[in-house]
Amino acid sequence: MTQVIHSLLVPQDKEDVFPELALSLFTVIDALYKKLKKASVRDIYFLSREGQPLMRLFEMYQLSHGDVNAPIVCHYLEVSRRSTFMPSLVSLDHEQFDTLFRQYRAISVMEFLSSLGLEVYATQVAQVLGVSVDALKVREADLPTSAVYRALLGNPWFCQLYETERISRRLAFIDYLTDLSGGTLPATLHLVDVGWKGTIQDNLYRLLCDATSTSVQSIDGYYVGLVGMGAANGSSRKHGLLFSCSGERSAHFHIFNENRALFEVILAADHGSVARYVHTERGLAQPVRSDFEEEDMVRQFIFPLQAKLFERFDALCRHFANCDHDVSRLLHLTARCHARMVFMPTSDEMNWFSTVFHVENFGVFESSRFNSTAPSTWLDRLRFTARLMRRHPGMMLGFWPWLSIRRQALPGVAYAYRRFRSGGLV
């Protein structure tokens, strides 16, 4: 098995980077399919945007492995943290916005409005608060305790706007999900997403099971990986398919967790993020998408990589369809291959990763570049290494810790980090 798989993961050219990701995602989809079959799940909902390529991979796997006469039905559910946040909230008298403020506190009023999907009302908000629109864009050190935040929540006009939008968007989302489900909501909503804390699932649980009476009684979320359980409970369960921190950390956790951004970037969709839900003039409920800010980057750098990913994944499906495999052995092989990508990348892979970026659409609204600047002097490297050894509480290693260490620490430190985090697999 090992020799055949390695032959499928050989790069074809310099632009063919991170080829082993096909095996990592095969292991994810293999685990997902088996869990769904064991639970007799008939409908599965893939959450946008990473769910778009994940759903394609699942359908490829099911075609080669599954029962074509009774396949698991796939649905593409267009959601985002922002679009599901507002519909999940309760009345302003009882809402603390914990889902937002537990991660983002140093934000502006404008970013607060944008997280609610109310940024289109910025001019009116500025007027009722007696400030300029530019003043709304100034970040507060701790927005929930600021005077401007208290003034906003105490303003009658804003309270009415909040309640109207909250209810209308909740109804629109429920109708949208009902239509997507063929007219009837499932008792248990089974969803798939990339991870990492399942915030959208938390929003959906509050929206469908907690704050509103619908026929949805529970939610099962299946994720590439989990690094936090959020608001999971007995009726809102979360499953890490490749790695998880639930209870004890899963096998090879540090390998798969080393560069989670790699999954997010490569599992790109062909459309922008969802901002809200509306009813059209004809009464049809539908999502409203934001501008696709990353479109040029995605089409130039991501889609060519996805094409090779799909080809390799299809070859892996055909290979495993004709042979039995031990799950633990597959996971071990996958960990070794994944460790090569995140701890021993080629120069082409590091350069490629530095060209792409991620746009944040909740809490803070800005682009995150993945390139890290190397220090200019040996003294800078020495200082960085000293802080790293002391585990300085303010130490930020970015999206890819190994790469930050390689570029900013003294020689040999990245090697030691690799050996430690990979458990000696590479």
Q: Average of pLDDT values for 363-386?
A: 80
Average pLDDT, stretch 12-16? 90
Least confident segment among 133-147, 318-332, 362-376: 362-376
Burial string for 24-58 (b: 16+ CB within 10 Å, else e) reads bbbbbbbbbbeebeeeebebbbbbbbbbbbbbbbb
Tell me the residue length of the chain: 426
Q: What is the dihedral of CA 140, 117, 240, 418, to 10 degrees?
A: -40
Record the pTM: 0.94
Nearest to 240 by CA among 249, 38, 263: 249
Q: What percent of the chain has pLDDT over 70?
A: 96
Report how far residue 417's alpha carbon sits from residue 398's, in angstroms, rounded to the nearest whole number: 15
Q: Beta strand pairing status for 367-369 and 236-243?
A: unpaired
pLDDT of residue 70: 79
Q: What is the pLDDT of residue 315?
A: 95
361 versus 42: which is more confidently predicted? 42
**C-alpha dist (Å) from residue 345 to 17, 182, 258, 336:** 9, 45, 12, 13
Q: Determine contact, residues 84/207, Cβ cutoff 8 Å.
A: yes
Given a cut of 90, is residue 242 above it in pLDDT?
yes
For residue 372, pLDDT over 90 is answered with no
Q: Report the range of poorest mean pLDDT among 67-76, 109-118, 221-230.
A: 67-76
Given this model, what pLDDT does residue 393 score?
Answer: 56
75, 180 Cβ separation under 8 angstroms = yes
Can you tell me whether residue 46 is helix, strand or coil?
Answer: strand
**Bridge partners for 403 per DSSP:** none
At 269-302, the pLDDT tens digits run 999 999 999 999 999 999 999 999 999 999 999 9
CA 85 to chain centre: 15
Backbone CA torsion sign across 123, 127, 131, 132: positive
Greater confidence, 246 or 286? 286
Instruction: Return mean pLDDT, the chain.
Output: 93
Confidence (pLDDT) at 276: 95
pLDDT of residue 363: 85
Domains and CATH numbers, the chain: 17-83+170-296 (3.40.50), 89-167 (no CATH)
Contact between 45 and 190 (Cβ < 8 Å): yes
Neighbours of 228 (CB within 10 A): 13
Summarize the confidence of residues 150-164 as an average pLDDT: 96
Q: What is the pLDDT of residues 310-351, one digit of tens each?
A: 999 999 999 998 777 889 999 999 999 999 999 999 999 999
